[in-house]
Structure 1
């Protein structure tokens, strides 16, 4: 069997960079996207500049960039078996404090990026006879939390969860599995170390998760042949309910 190729959006830092490392370690070709060439160069350097990592700069909210990303992956490696829609950001604040600019930014990266990149990937996967899509959602979209006001991220990531289910049904006869991973609080540079005690207490497990734990879940779903339409919470029990 030839080596498989995965596209990972938002691959230059945090969970995305951890996913790139995990897929490389598991023998995949990796095509990673980010907004700037400089960030992709830094990511490649941190990964050891492997020959089977290609960075493609662009804005995931631009449908032309999505098509460019898919074309670059096919040109470099011949096919794309897996898409991980990871690009996104989390913006918690009281509902009335969200500005029109906040809404547009969240829609661009967290929603449009998933739609346009998935459209490009699905067209390719249909032609080649199958593939896997894994969306990165959020545990707070499964169970909102009074201590974390985040209505707009909940709205958009909740929509991604439903998109995951809808596409799983629509694409089932095309042999394309569509699933999602819903992380809880994960140990990445975006979190202030001074807030660790508060973050630890957001899950009944009493700790934050690791990037490696998210990567394990994504890798499983990238290989699963009889799992589709699943939103897998990796959150230490955060989305189970109030405790």
Structure 2
């Protein structure tokens, strides 16, 4: 068990942004605990995988118990797991609502509560949450009120927890992406999705990874909602 190497927990780690974040922290020689429903064992001995549903409190318990047993510490939690489903508000079903709340809100609650308990005792740590710029700049072409309801709550909780923990050595921040080129979006939709950003392109996974790494090293930054969205949050770019 190492008590020197820094350790990151990443949720939603099996593909897309989460997998990119795992790879980036490993390149920085962090130990990584990676979790998702479909996560598979890793060939890298410094990546510990823990399968589970992020909305289930038992998953957070297993993740942090495993992290402490293997590595002896947790320095960073990246709350990346999330769901997105664009629908007119009245078309959402009860099942849609429950899935949104379980993944986006309950997952954040259970993981962050465990992380802050560990980090508060350590006297150091950092929580980063991936939200969405639709919270700040809704678009009628992408009706997603449940994303705003849930991810907007995470932005507010990020600021609240940053203040609550400011004197403990623990920082709390968020990255607020635009539309990122991940397996969630089929290639035939990329051109239309690119046009939803003032800069005229979709984001890349590396754009979000770079923001996460910046915040993780920015020791004087807490309570920040960092928009990585090609200008979406700044306003409309066409009439």
* Paired residues of 1:30 and 1:53 also in contact (CA < 8 A): yes
Post-superposition CA distance 1:171-209 (Å, at most 9, x none) = 111111000001111111110111111101000110001
The structural deviation recorded for 1:56 is: 0.3
Within-5 A mapping of 1:189-204: 189-204=183-198
Within-5 A mapping of 1:1-12: 2-12=4-14
* Paired residues of 1:139 and 1:235 also in contact (CA < 8 A): yes
* Cα RMSD after superposing both structures: 1.1
Separation (CA, whole Å) in 1 of partners of 2:58 and 2:163: 26
Query: 1:15 corresponds to which residue?
Result: 17
SS of 1:172's partner is: coil
The structural deviation recorded for 1:2 is: 2.1
Separation (CA, whole Å) in 2 of partners of 1:88 and 1:161: 14
Separation (CA, whole Å) in 1 of partners of 2:136 and 2:184: 21
Post-superposition CA distance 1:55-100 (Å, at most 9, x none) = 0011111112111111101111110000000011111111110000
The one of 29, 32, 37 aligned to 1:30: 32
TM-score between both structures, scaled by the size of structure 1: 0.94
TM-score between both structures, scaled by the size of structure 2: 0.96
Query: 1:50 corresponds to which residue?
Result: 44
Separation (CA, whole Å) in 2 of partners of 1:192 and 1:64: 33
Structure 1 position 178 matched with structure 2 position 172: yes
Aligned length: 235
Segments of 4+ moved more than 6 angstroms:
none
Within-5 A mapping of 1:97-176: 97-176=91-170
Post-superposition CA distance 1:204-237 (Å, at most 9, x none) = 1100011111001001111221100000010110
Within-5 A mapping of 1:65-84: 65-84=59-78
Unaligned runs of 5+ in 2: none
Structure 1 position 40 matched with structure 2 position 55: no
* Paired residues of 1:33 and 1:40 also in contact (CA < 8 A): no
* Paired residues of 1:205 and 1:236 also in contact (CA < 8 A): yes
Unaligned runs of 5+ in 1: none
Separation (CA, whole Å) in 1 of partners of 2:81 and 2:131: 10
Structure 1 position 60 matched with structure 2 position 54: yes
SS of 1:17's partner is: helix
